Amino acid sequence: MAIRYTARHDFDHSAAQRIGVLLVNLGTPDAPDAASVRRYLAQFLWDPRVIEVPRPLWWLILHGVILRIRPKRSARAYASVWTEAGSPLLVHSKAQRAALADVLEQRAPDRFRVALAMRYGRPDVEAALVELAAAGVSRLMVLPMYPQYSATTTGSVFDAVSEALWRRRWVPHLAFNAGYHDHPRYVAALAASIAEHWRTAPAPERLLFSFHGIPRRYFLSGDPYHCQCHNTTRLVTEALGLEPGRWQVSFQSRVGREEWLRPYTDETLEQWGREGVNSVHVVCPGFAADCLETLEEIAMENRERFLHAGGSTFDYIPALNTRADHIDGLADIVMDTTAPWQDWADRELEASAARPNARQERARALGAEN
């Protein structure tokens, strides 16, 4: 069977071509109910980048057990953080897209178009690429909103973008950012957010850097995520001048019986509470936007664990979200990555004004053929 490649038939060759920026985050269900969560989890947990288990066996486990039990429980968790505007992750991500577009427009007027996609759920990668193509994008930078690279997240975004592009007749020039865990602006924004929090709330006895976990065997198979999490933490603690003993790295959100990266966030907080640590602040540098894992798992569930174990004060330091220094840092990453395209973008805008009307040219060409 022949492959049918897709293309825009109304493309205007006289219009200026622009640089597209595609922001991609993990995703969210459409609503905090069991049916929506089931659809979301079915897509998320079927990704072989996320669960590296033979497909026939995993299909039985996923559809025979997990999707029968977990959606209802997860829906309650989503409902506890859902806002009138919708899912916190989607709300923050939309605001980040708008803020980044504004900053890029200030720095390079009319050169960029920015779109948002979720790896799982909506808006999906395919829809975002269609949006950018309609905006005249022929050079595309993909920016996964995961500072630390993992095959389970950043690698999966690459798969999704590749899958969406492989049937295109006209594939854009492509640049893919594989992470920014040690970017100076990202590190500075994290350090500033912590320092600012401590100006309104007394600095705690312990600061916990909690990152989303991955199975330990992924790390042993060559995933750099664990090392990049520790490197981010080292850079931030150096920027803050924190002495050893006041901070620690941990990993959250484990599922199943398999061993994940240690130490675990929940066990660490319970241990600190039992040991007499009175005050703890938790920051989650791996999350560019607040979401279920930060707002419910950390700020609610793990707060209760720490207090129940004997602790007195627990603060969650919010994700960077739309902080100006965060958005400026993302804009720096975009500008640096697309620097080889800037001269082209300038020439493209100038040349577009002199081009003949593309639709008239196309009509004349088709007429000549007939």
Residue 130 has pLDDT above 60, yes or no: yes
- In a domain? residue 62: no
Instruction: Give me the domain span that covers residue 197.
Output: 184-317
Of 50-59, 323-332, 339-348, minimum mean pLDDT range? 339-348
- Is residue 137 located within the same domain as residue 250? no
Q: What's the structural domain count of the chain?
A: 2
- Is residue 169 located within the same domain as residue 193? no
Q: What would the two tokens of residue 362 be?
A: 């196309």
Chain centroid, CA 212 distance in Å: 12
- Is residue 121 located within the same domain as residue 134? yes
Which of residues 370 and 109 earns the better pLDDT score?
Answer: 109
Which of 154, 232, 184, 231 lies closest to 333, judged by CA?
A: 184
- Is residue 189 located within the same domain as residue 311? yes
Point out the domain boundary residue: 273, 298, 317.
Answer: 317
pLDDT at 7: 78
Q: Output phi, psi for 64, to 5 deg.
A: -85, -25
- In a domain? residue 93: yes
Which of residues 167 and 284 earns the better pLDDT score?
Answer: 284
68-126 tens-digit pLDDT: 999 999 999 999 999 999 999 999 999 999 999 999 999 999 999 999 999 999 999 99
- Is residue 254 located within the same domain as residue 124? no
* 238: CATH: 3.40.50.1400
Under DSSP, is residue 270 helix (H, G, I), strand (E, B) or coil? helix
- Is residue 331 located within the same domain as residue 195? no
Q: What would the two tokens of residue 232 be?
A: 């981010």
- In a domain? residue 4: no
- Is residue 188 located within the same domain as residue 280? yes
Q: Name 17's Cβ contacts closer than 8 Å, sequence gap at least 6.
A: 136, 137, 138, 139, 348, 352
> What is the pLDDT confidence band of residue 5, given thresholds at 50, 70 and 90?
confident
- Is residue 260 located within the same domain as residue 151? no
Please, are residues 92 and 289 in contact by the beta-carbon 8 Å criterion?
Answer: yes
Kindly report the pTM of this predicted structure.
Answer: 0.94
- Is residue 120 located within the same domain as residue 162? yes
- In a domain? residue 163: yes
Q: What percent of the chain has pLDDT over 90?
A: 86
- In a domain? residue 106: yes
- Is residue 313 located within the same domain as residue 336? no
- Is residue 236 located within the same domain as residue 310? yes
Of 12-21, 26-35, 213-222, minimum mean pLDDT range? 12-21
- In a domain? residue 368: no
Average pLDDT over every residue of 264-279: 98
- In a domain? residue 245: yes
Tally the C-alpha atoms within 13 A of residue 200's C-alpha that lie toward its C-beta: 9
Measured between alpha carbons, how far is residue 35 from residues 31, 38, 74 in Å? Answer: 9, 5, 11
- In a domain? residue 69: no
- Is residue 28 located within the same domain as residue 151? yes
